[in-house]
């Protein structure tokens, strides 16, 4: 499907793979835990891997396991999965603004499969436009880690050193911080954006107002809109400082 210009995609592919390494490390403890839980839930190795390969969405997979334990029906599990994952719509809409216009919609439909909170974050703060090659590389690395470590978790999750697993739980957060902080230097607008979104999210989650997925969507949309509104009004008032 995509062999047409794989040649000029390859340097970008390599960059994507490199950018995905942090995600690959961060996914390891989460996927191992998922694999272990899947095993205790009674899923076979095949089913465990299939969920990771086809759904490829951490939170939804955890919730599905929970619901399976409770004996919830398939329709309800599918519906819950949809609700938990609908936030990807916002991520894709934002990435689409950055994607290379010349890339065919088919290529975008292929790399859309790999969009998660983490691949989104890495791709979104990368300078310049997003090429399909870069996105393939990023996705392959993150996806490979997710599937591989799901299997490892099912195989021998219980025997992995506890202290390493616990300490590794910080990995993805460290990555998010590492992606965010450099972009904040020199831009008060972005500092406000991140801080306001974080505050909204804390209120929504700590106040038990919204579930995790919806809280992130609501706080991101609210703050992105409010901050843009303020900066537009400020520009109209004739005050210019970037």
Q: Which of residues 43-102 bind other proteins (CB under 8 A)?
A: 43-44, 46-47, 50-51, 54-57, 60, 64, 74, 77-79, 81-82, 85-94, 96-99, 101
Q: By CB under 8 A, which span of 4-12, 30-38, 117-125, 148-156 interacts with other proteins?
A: 117-125
**Nearest residue (CB) to other proteins, 82 versus 156:** 82
**Which residue of 206, 239, 240, 242 would you call a contact of other proteins, by CB under 8 A?**
206
Site string for other proteins, 126-155 (x = CB under 8 A): ------------------------------
Least separation in angstroms between CB 5 and other proteins: 19
Can you name the residues that pair with 99 across neighbouring β-strands? Answer: 130
Among 100, 205, 210, 214, binds other proteins (CB under 8 A): 205
CA distances from 161 to 40, 54, 165, 178, 224 (A): 18, 29, 7, 26, 41
N-terminal to C-terminal alpha carbon distance within the chain: 44
Residue 130's beta-bridge partner residues?
99
44 half-sphere exposure, CB direction, 13 A CA radius: 3
Q: Is 167 in the site for other proteins (CB under 8 A)?
A: yes
- CA dist 74 to 53, 63, 80, 232, Å? 19, 13, 10, 47
C-beta closer to other proteins: residue 108 or 140: 108
DSSP state of 211: -
* Candidate residues 128, 182, 186, 238; the one interacting with other proteins per rule CB under 8 A: 182
């Amino acid at each position: 499907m995509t062999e047409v210009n794989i040649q000029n995609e390859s340097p970008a592919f390599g960059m994507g793979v490199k950018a995905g390494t942090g995600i690959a490390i961060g996914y390891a403890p989460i996927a191992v835990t998922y694999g272990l839980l899947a095993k205790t839930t009674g899923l076979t190795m095949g089913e465990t891997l299939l969920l990771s390969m086809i759904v490829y969405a951490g939170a939804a997979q955890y919730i599905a396991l929970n619901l399976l334990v409770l004996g919830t029906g398939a329709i309800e599990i599918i519906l819950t999965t949809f609700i938990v994952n609908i936030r990807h719509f916002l991520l894709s809409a934002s990435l689409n603004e950055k994607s290379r216009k010349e890339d065919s919609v088919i290529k975008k439909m292929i790399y859309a499969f790999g969009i998660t909170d983490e691949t989104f974050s890495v791709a979104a703060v990368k300078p310049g436009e997003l090429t399909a090659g870069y996105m393939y590389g990023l996705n392959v690395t993150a996806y490979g880690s997710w599937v591989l470590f799901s299997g490892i978790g099912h195989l021998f999750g219980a025997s992995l050193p506890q202290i390493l697993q616990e300490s590794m739980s910080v990995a993805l957060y460290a990555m998010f911080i590492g992606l965010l902080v450099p972009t904040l230097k020199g831009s008060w607008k972005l500092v406000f954006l991140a801080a306001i979104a974080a505050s909204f999210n804390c209120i929504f989650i700590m106040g038990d107002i919204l579930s995790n997925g919806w809280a992130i969507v609501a706080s991101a949309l609210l703050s992105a809109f409010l901050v843009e509104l303020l900066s537009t009004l400020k520009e109209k008032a004739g005050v210019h400082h970037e």
